[in-house]
Structure 1
Amino acid sequence: MSDTPRYIRRLTHAEAELWEIVTASVTPYRQRPPTAPAEAAPPAKPPAPLREAGRTPAPVAPRDRPAPPPPPTPLTEIDHRTRVKIKRGRLDVDAKLDLHGLRQDEAQRALSAFLRRAQADGAKIAIVVTGKGLSREEGGVLRRVVPMWLQAPHLRDVVVGFGEAARHHGGEGALYVRIRRSDRLRGR
């Protein structure tokens, strides 16, 4: 059997005209060096109006530079080796916070205070229990927002990284949080 498809769809006349209009306004991201001397190419014709729709297309404005990609998050996921050490009991969990029953504003204040206190006490790993929530599809509110809070700028000097906890520590309803040593802050 051959690898070529049996049926190749051809563009309709309207699709071909639209494609021509779109590609006329595109400029390459990087210029490639010419491989052969450029021959006299026929001048590019202006885009033809769409005949089937009965109207002319709107002029396409050239785009400015694309937006720069967002900066990488400074937090790292807890690596597999650390997670296995915690799971097997070779690395102790130094502190635990249970957020069950708290409203969002209470939970956020409790989380910030807990992490700062744990850092001051010299904790390396903490568990934050958020709960799984009532619906399996969406999850609980705290389960969704606590990871965002852990990435907040005011906690960057405390949190190194976080990840889902092992089943016996709460599984999907809990997070391991790696805490930055407080003596590392003085060097900043």
Structure 2
Amino acid sequence: MARRRDLHPEEQALWQAVASTVTPNIRHRAKTVLPAAQPAISPVDPPPVPPKLPAFRLGEKLPPKSVRPAESPLRMDAKTHARMTRGKLAPEARIDLHGMTLAEAHGELIHFILGAQEQGHRLVLVITGKGKPGREDDHLHRQGGVLRQQVPHWLRLPPLGLAVQQVAEAHLRHGGSGACYVYLRRR
């Protein structure tokens, strides 16, 4: 590797003259290493970028921020919850709702959850899938799938709300954000 040489005074003056005429490219700002003899030129910090808001029409209701099942308050014991969220607790039963319509999926989910509780299961896995990204003007699909959004709501409403104790997003080995754990109450 070649050893770097120090700049001569006329080279430093030329560098300073050129550097004072350049405006920094904020998008692709590269870190430049200046020789130790030169004073450091600090580029201007870019202004903070405001968050991009979704398209909104007058009179339209806002879409839900997130319908992740993990937002429900902790109602089960902490040790079991920690084992469940780390994927160490295996689900006793599972249902896959891929390819079903809302009506079919709702009926199947009610039948599955109530049947699992009747059999004495405590932890079941409901696979909804992540969904396809929808059109920009379709606010239902913006978060990624109708089933993924509806299942947590169905699990809070009667008759399932009486059987369900806790709903949490599944661990990656069990489907991640495309599935949810449902912890059932004892019969």
- Shorter chain as denominator, the TM-score bin is 0.5 to 0.7
1:88 deviates by: 5.3
Structure 2: runs of 5 or more not aligned: 1-71, 135-141
Report the Cα distance in structure 2 between the residues aligned to 1:117 and 1:95, rounded to whole angstroms. 10
Of 171, 181, 185, 1:180 maps to 185
Residue matched to 1:94: 92
Change beyond 3 A, Cα 1:108–1:160: same
The one of the two structures with greater contact order (alpha-carbon pairs below 8 A, sep at least 6) is 2
Residue matched to 1:109: 107
Contact 1:112 1:155 in 2 (8 A): yes
1:95 deviates by: 0.8
Structure 1: runs of 5 or more not aligned: 1-74, 183-188
Report the Cα distance in structure 1 between the residues aligned to 2:75 and 2:177, rounded to whole angstroms. 15
Report the Cα distance in structure 1 between the residues aligned to 2:102 and 2:95, rounded to whole angstroms. 14
Report the Cα distance in structure 1 between the residues aligned to 2:168 and 2:88, rounded to whole angstroms. 18
Is the partner of 1:153 in helix, strand or coil? coil
Of 154, 157, 164, 1:159 maps to 164
| TM-score, scaled relative to structure 2 | 0.52
Contact 1:127 1:175 in 2 (8 A): yes
1:149 deviates by: 0.3
Is the partner of 1:92 in helix, strand or coil? coil
1:135 deviates by: 1.0
Is the partner of 1:118 in helix, strand or coil? helix
- How many residues align structurally? 108
Report the Cα distance in structure 1 between the residues aligned to 2:145 and 2:90, rounded to whole angstroms. 27
- Give the partner amino acid of 1:85: R
1:138 deviates by: 2.2
1:176 deviates by: 0.4
1:153 deviates by: 2.3
The answer as to 2:120 corresponding to 1:145 is: no
Report the Cα distance in structure 2 between the residues aligned to 1:111 and 1:171, rounded to whole angstroms. 19
Note the aligned Cα RMSD (angstroms). 2.2
**Percent of residue pairs bearing the same amino acid type:** 41
- Give the partner amino acid of 2:126: V
Report the Cα distance in structure 1 between the residues aligned to 2:181 and 2:75, rounded to whole angstroms. 8
Is the partner of 2:180 in helix, strand or coil? strand
1:77 deviates by: 4.2
Report the Cα distance in structure 2 between the residues aligned to 1:161 and 1:103, rounded to whole angstroms. 25
Residue matched to 2:128: 130
Change beyond 3 A, Cα 1:76–1:121: farther
Contact 1:159 1:177 in 2 (8 A): yes
| TM-score, scaled relative to structure 1 | 0.52
Residue matched to 1:5: none
Report the Cα distance in structure 2 between the residues aligned to 1:121 and 1:89, rounded to whole angstroms. 22
